[in-house]
């Protein structure tokens, strides 16, 4: 029986997790929310050492030390552009850990199950939760590793489809369901091991057909899976704190997945299985040879210097070039000269929601200048200049006008309605969706080629010189 004081500590930690999630919903409270959640997690880890007579304590401490070192090193070295990959790894580790814990618990249950009448002592729901945790945790682990490999370019980011994939996936899924039911009625440890292997196969087959800008959405979905497995693991272990924390992660991951899918203008089902019918957000990826109008930093500086209303559209290229500090300085100069300047943030700009917000926050950009798509889309028609920095698909008019485009139906920023558009690009390579952007070829669009950080520095100097 868990001591009362331990239950109270766990309850306090659970409340802290809820408050931390609330704090993370706003930029002014995000840092404190993050610290509160981290502190509660540390307390939750320490408590079992105090009231339980643990075995293998040295091994546990070694594992904690390895995890701590890995976390610190990762936090210091992982670039902002690699955050989605790191999130994918965190998802995978969480799901894999939950699956392993469930397997160990199943092993611990076996002596009770093998005794006459022992099954009733364990309970069918506990066995069902165990089977669920093993399968879904394994799915999250394997799927997250594939998403990491895709984003890290360790494998192709294009959808991977082979003949018979739907049949293999359906067969593995059906086998997992049947074996899960069998585990509840006639439990054996080998069934749990086979369930884990089936989960790994399902995870791989689930993510392989996903490509392009759909990959971050699948990361969010797998995050929800991991949360559900942690919640189920909390039930198995009779740990209320795990149950609450897992439920929070599962719910928030589910909502985030739906919000991202809506921002892409597609359903989750289409995102997961669209490639099986020939649909995906990843196009051909061919470099366009069509002529465009380009200019140098001096010409663009003149356009900006005489603009009263400027809107900045940041994207993944800004994060890659680490040009956010120079961009903020440019905006400060324009604002000091009387121009009204805002940043237009698309929900899926970058590789994950909030990517641009965090990137610009690093450069001390006032949060009041960050405008969500729905709040600023009506302002583009009045903008003298729209400066697109490293973005592509989120301003591609093909999402509105080309039914055959893989991003058709995705809500976009109305940059094409501005009086002048300056597109900062390294080359004519397409964006993450791999399709041509018609905005590049409009009469009101001027391209400024080059590395975003270098070009932004030159542009800043030219503006200051005017």
- Helix spans in 152-209 (H): 165-185, 189-207
Burial class of 319 by CB neighbour count within 10 A (0 to 12, 13 to 18, 19+): buried
* pLDDT of 120 over the 80 cut: no
The residue ranges of DSSP E strands in 202-316, in sequence order, are: 309-314
Average pLDDT of 118-132? 77
Stronger pLDDT, 96 or 426, i.e. the higher one: 96
Helix (H) or strand (E) holding 333: helix 324-336
Q: How far apart are CA 461 and CA 1, in angstroms?
A: 69
Average pLDDT of 132-156? 92
Average pLDDT of 80-89? 82
Structure tokens at 366: 């006032």
Question: Among residues of the chain, what percentage have pLDDT more than 70?
Answer: 92
What pLDDT is stored for residue 111 in this prediction? 67
Which of 214, 379, 393, 416 is flagged as catalytic? Answer: 393
Convert the pLDDT of each residue in 435-450 to its tens digit. 778 888 888 899 998 8
What pLDDT is stored for residue 140 in this prediction? 95
* pLDDT of 178 over the 70 cut: yes
Burial class of 435 by CB neighbour count within 10 A (0 to 12, 13 to 18, 19+): buried
The residue ranges of DSSP E strands in 269-332, in sequence order, are: 309-314
- The residue among 137, 107, 133 whose CA lies nearest residue 122 is 107
Question: CB-based contacts of 277: which residues, under 8 Å, 6+ apart?
Answer: none
Q: How far apart are CA 262 and CA 409, in angstroms?
A: 10
Q: How far apart are CA 226 and CA 15, in angstroms?
A: 20
Convert the pLDDT of each residue in 348-358 to its tens digit. 887 777 788 88
* pLDDT of 134 over the 90 cut: yes
What pLDDT is stored for residue 276 in this prediction? 67
Of the pLDDT bands very low, low, confident and very high (cuts 50, 70, 90), residue 272 is confident
What pLDDT is stored for residue 375 in this prediction? 92
What pLDDT is stored for residue 450 in this prediction? 87
Average pLDDT of 132-152? 93
User: The pTM is what?
Assistant: 0.81
Q: Is 55 a catalytic residue?
A: no
Convert the pLDDT of each residue in 38-48 to its tens digit. 999 999 999 99
- What rounded mean pLDDT belongs to the chain? 86
Average pLDDT of 123-139? 91
Helix (H) or strand (E) holding 343: strand 340-345
- Going from N- to C-terminal start, the domains of the chain cover 78-277, 297-465
* pLDDT of 278 over the 60 cut: no
Of the pLDDT bands very low, low, confident and very high (cuts 50, 70, 90), residue 379 is very high
Phi and psi (nearest 5°) for 309? -130, 120
Using DSSP's 3-state secondary structure scheme, residue 331 falls into helix
Whole-number Cα distances in Å, 182 to 99, 119, 139, 199: 18, 13, 19, 16
Q: How far apart are CA 174 and CA 336, in angstroms?
A: 64
Question: CB-based contacts of 385: which residues, under 8 Å, 6+ apart?
Answer: 303, 304, 307, 309, 310, 311, 418, 419, 420, 421, 422
Q: How far apart are CA 417 and CA 384, in angstroms?
A: 10
What pLDDT is stored for residue 446 in this prediction? 92
What pLDDT is stored for residue 277 in this prediction? 62
* pLDDT of 184 over the 90 cut: no
* pLDDT of 143 over the 90 cut: yes
What pLDDT is stored for residue 313 in this prediction? 94
* pLDDT of 396 over the 80 cut: yes
Q: What is the DSSP letter of 352?
A: S
* pLDDT of 321 over the 60 cut: yes
What pLDDT is stored for residue 268 in this prediction? 82
Convert the pLDDT of each residue in 298-307 to its tens digit. 999 999 989 9
Stronger pLDDT, 88 or 273, i.e. the higher one: 88
Average pLDDT of 203-219? 85
What pLDDT is stored for residue 159 in this prediction? 81
Average pLDDT of 216-239? 91
| Highest-pLDDT range among 52-56, 379-383, 400-404 | 379-383
Convert the pLDDT of each residue in 49-61 to its tens digit. 998 888 889 999 9
* pLDDT of 280 over the 60 cut: no
Q: What is the CATH number of domain 297-465?
A: 3.40.50.1220
Convert the pLDDT of each residue in 146-175 to its tens digit. 999 988 888 887 788 888 888 999 999 999
Residue written as token pair 């940041």: 314
């Amino acid at each position: 029986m868990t001591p009362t004081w331990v239950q109270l500590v766990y309850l306090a930690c659970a409340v802290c997790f809820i408050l931390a999630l609330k704090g993370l919903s706003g930029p002014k409270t995000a840092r404190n929310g993050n610290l509160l959640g981290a502190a509660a997690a540390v307390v939750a880890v320490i408590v079992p050492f105090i009231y339980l007579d643990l075995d293998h304590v040295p091994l546990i401490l070694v594992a904690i030390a390895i995890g701590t070192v890995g976390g610190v090193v990762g936090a210091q070295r992982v670039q902002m552009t690699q955050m989605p990959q790191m999130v994918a790894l965190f998802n995978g580790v969480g799901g894999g850990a939950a699956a392993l814990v469930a397997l160990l618990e199943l092993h611990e249950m076996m002596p009770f199950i093998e005794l006459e009448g022992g099954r009733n002592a364990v309970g069918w729901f506990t066995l069902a939760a165990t089977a669920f945790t093993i399968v879904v945790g394994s799915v999250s682990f394997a799927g997250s590793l594939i998403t990491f490999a895709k984003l890290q370019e360790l494998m192709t980011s294009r959808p991977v489809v082979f003949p018979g994939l739907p049949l293999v996936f359906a067969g593995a899924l059906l086998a997992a369901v049947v074996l899960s039911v069998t585990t509840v009625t006639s439990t054996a440890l080998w069934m749990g091991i086979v369930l884990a292997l089936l989960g790994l196969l399902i995870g791989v087959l689930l993510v392989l057909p996903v490509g392009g800008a759909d990959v971050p959405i699948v990361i969010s979905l797998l995050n929800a899976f991991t949360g559900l497995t942690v919640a189920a693991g909390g039930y198995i272990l009779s740990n209320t704190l795990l149950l609450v924390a897992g439920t929070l992660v599962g719910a928030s991951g589910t909502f985030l997945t739906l919000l991202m899918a809506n921002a892409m203008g597609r359903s989750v089902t289409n995102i997961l299985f669209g490639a099986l019918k020939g649909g995906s957000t990843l196009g051909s990826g061919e470099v366009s040879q069509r002529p465009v109008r380009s200019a140098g930093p001096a010409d663009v500086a003149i356009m900006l210097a005489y603009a009263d209303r400027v809107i900045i559209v940041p994207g993944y290229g800004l994060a890659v070039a680490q040009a956010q500090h120079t961009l903020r300085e440019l905006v400060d100069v324009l604002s000091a000269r009387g121009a009204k300047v805002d940043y237009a943030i698309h929900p899926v700009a970058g590789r994950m929601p909030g990517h641009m917000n965090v990137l610009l926050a690093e450069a001390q950009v006032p949060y009041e200048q960050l405008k969500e798509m729905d709040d600023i889309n009506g302002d583009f028609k009045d903008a003298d200049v729209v400066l697109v920095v490293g973005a592509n698909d989120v301003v591609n008019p093909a999402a509105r006008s080309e039914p055959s485009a893989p991003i058709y139906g995705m809500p976009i920023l109305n940059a094409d309605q501005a009086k002048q558009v300056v597109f900062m690009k390294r080359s004519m390579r397409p964006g993450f969706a791999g399709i041509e952007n018609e905005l590049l070829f409009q009469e009101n669009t001027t391209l400024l080629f080059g590395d975003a950080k270098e070009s932004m520095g030159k542009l800043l100097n030219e503006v200051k010189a005017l």
